[in-house]
Amino acid sequence: MEWLTTIKEAIRYMEDELLTIKGPEEVATHVHISPMYLQRGFQVVTGYTIGEYIRNRRLYLAAMELVHTEEKVINIALKYGYETPESFSKAFFRFHHATPTDIRKQNSIVKTFLPLRVNISIQGGSSSMAYTVNKMTAFKVIGFSRDFSFDSSNVDIPKFWDEILKKYEANLIAGNPPANEIEQALIDNRIGEFGVCIDDIGINGKFKYMIAGRYMGGHIPAGMEVFELPEAEWAKFKCVGPIPAAIQEVNHQIWNDWLPGNNEYELSGSFSLEWYSSAGSIQDSDYQSGVWIPVARKNK
């Protein structure tokens, strides 16, 4: 399915199934795309995660019912997916900055959240981006992994990097020789070359993220794991500039400019990579990094 058609169909499906939909995985199954790709692209294009969109739409419609009906708050809470009046009231106040009672009495204004309409103006498309497409044989990566929620990954993943660097690289950065097998693995496999997103969980809007390097063989220290990336054609997008701004900007261009109307390639697989150069500081204006996404050629 063409990318913009996929996003529009995802929105239509969410609107049709708003009261019963269980999560992003259900939407992704409907539009036949990896939940990871759908959630990442949806957030870039709309500014909302899928979870936020569903939650905001439900809370808006719940407020309209409070204003226009005499239905009990507990029944409205249950209808829109909340198990107790307390959990409903907390979510309701966070969104509307008012209690259900205030909205019902019309002492406060309902915060409007209407169905999204997606319209992207394609300017330049793929020709305006620096990228190559290369076929690569299967290869393994080794590193540290953790499961993340899409709703908070933009904040939590940088914290994960900071945690790993402070815990395992301080001794090496100080210029000392490796003090243990983990520090040796960091050097042997250049762990930190890749940030790997892996959509192999499939529940609760989560995905696996690895701080990784190419696995060169040998012992796998406790606390680390190996993941094999299958043979694939990779679209490799060049990023230049400080991290994370440079990669965020390229991701924005991929989902808003490169994919819409792309007549040659479509998304493939359920994983993607961030590549980080070992040369220079990540805050340098000319720092080199990249975004790698597996793609497939469209049948013409």
Range in 72-81, 89-98, 252-261, 284-293 the model is least confident about: 252-261
Quick one: 72 and 146 in the same domain? no
* Length of the chain, in residues: 300
Residue ending a domain, choose from 104, 133, 168: 104
Report the alpha-carbon distance of residue 9 to residue 1 in Å, rounded: 10
Whether 115 is in a domain gets the answer no
Which domain, by its residues, includes 13?
Answer: 3-104
pTM (predicted TM-score): 0.82
Quick one: 78 and 186 in the same domain? no
DSSP state of 287: -
Q: How far is CA 25 from CA 19, 38, 44, 58, in A?
A: 16, 9, 18, 18
Quick one: 146 and 291 in the same domain? yes
Whether 42 is in a domain gets the answer yes
Quick one: 275 and 145 in the same domain? yes
Residue 129 scores a pLDDT above 50: yes
Whether 96 is in a domain gets the answer yes
CB-based contacts of 103, cutoff 8 Å, min separation 6:
63, 66, 67, 92, 96, 110
Whether 181 is in a domain gets the answer yes
Residue 120 scores a pLDDT above 60: no
Quick one: 150 and 81 in the same domain? no
Number of domains in the chain: 2
Residue 300 scores a pLDDT above 70: no
% of the chain residues with pLDDT over 70: 94
Residue ending a domain, choose from 38, 73, 104: 104
Quick one: 176 and 31 in the same domain? no
Residue 221 scores a pLDDT above 50: yes
What is residue 127's predicted lDDT score, i.e. its pLDDT? 46
Label the pairing between strands 131-136 and 271-276: unpaired
Report the alpha-carbon distance of residue 97 to residue 100 in Å, rounded: 10
Question: Sorting pLDDT into bands at 50, 70 and 90, what band is 150?
Answer: confident
Which amino acid is residue 92, in one-letter code? F
Query: CATH code at 207?
Result: 3.20.80.10
Residues 63-92 as b/e (b if ≥16 CB within 10 A, e otherwise) read: bebbeeeeeebeebbeebbbeebeebbebb
Whether 274 is in a domain gets the answer yes
What is residue 256's predicted lDDT score, i.e. its pLDDT? 87
Q: What mean pLDDT is predicted for residues 62-77?
A: 95
pLDDT per position as a tens digit, 38-58: 998 999 888 899 999 999 999
Query: CATH code at 89?
Result: 1.10.10.60
Whether 87 is in a domain gets the answer yes
Quick one: 26 and 145 in the same domain? no
What is residue 1's predicted lDDT score, i.e. its pLDDT? 63
Quick one: 211 and 141 in the same domain? yes
Residue with tokens 């990097």: 161
What is residue 154's predicted lDDT score, i.e. its pLDDT? 83
